[in-house]
Amino acid sequence: MAKKFTVAAQLFTLRDFLKTPADIVNTIKQVKKIGYDAAQISGVGPIDPTELNKIMNDAGVKPIGAHVNLNEFRTDAAKVIADCKAWDIKYVAIPWLPRQEFTTRASWIKLFKEFEKYAVQFQKEGIAVQYHNHMFEFEKFGIRCGKGGQTVLDMMFENTTVLQAELDFGWVARGGHDPVAWAKKLKGRLDQVHLKDWGIVDDQPVWRAIGEGGIDWPAVIKACKQSGTLDFIVEQDSCPITNDPFRSLKISREYLAEQGL
């Protein structure tokens, strides 16, 4: 029997439609209607985690992870664990960093040790901690006369063992790197990934639905499967082509279905 993979919507894409509990109920129903049976929690307005879990499951949209800011880990890691259990999820990602605070290799490595501490703590509770990249993690340290150098993301996973990656392939490509190479590089630490595409309109880079940009998705999906990926999560930061994030998510879902997901 062929292995079944999950395709999920990242709720941050729909953040403008998730401000109140009533909004959340209506939006999650639409997420199901456009073809998603799972979603990653992010960008949701104030709501009790148990209530959110019930709303999602009642609509047939399973929570499969969440984004939680680093400050929340630092302030009360026990609460983050409790929220994850109330959401009934096994993955939680740190989605962003105040990168201006880290200007040296040593400062980055100190941060990565902090990430690993959370990863070990949460692993004992059956929860995997991930890091979600943007573009700045592809800055290189140590280049000499055009040679050598190491990206921040390379340093992160060289200095951790339990921390998982939640590669965002749109940002990998925007950072000038090969999504396929990175999917292969993080084999075994890549249970969940973010699918995001971009193209050029009027000489400017814009986010587009999956399949409408320049990323070679069949090759990326193949590499992810070979690296152990279980969940493919669709995110679109903005939707300048459709001006409708539901429509953009639907286009992406239909494209991925054509790719066998």
Q: Is residue 75 part of a domain?
A: yes
| pTM recorded for the entire structure | 0.97
pLDDT of 41-59, one tens digit each? 999 999 999 999 999 999 9
The answer to whether position 93 is within a domain reads: yes
Domain that residue 134 falls in? 6-258
Q: Is residue 1 part of a domain?
A: no
Count of domains in the chain? Answer: 1
Alpha helices in 103-244 (DSSP H): 105-123, 152-158, 169-174, 179-185, 217-226
Q: Amino acid letter at 152?
A: V
In a domain, 27, yes or no: yes
* pLDDT 10s digits, 179-202: 999 999 999 999 999 999 999 999
Strand duo 128-132 + 140-144: pairing: unpaired
Residue 226 falls within a domain, yes or no? yes
∠43-47-49 over CA atoms, to 5°?
A: 95
The CATH number for 24's domain is 3.20.20.150
How far apart, in Å, do the first and last CA atoms of the chain sit?
A: 15
Whole-number CA gyration radius for the chain = 18
Query: In this structure, is residue 14 part of a structural domain?
Result: yes
Is residue 112 assigned to a domain? yes
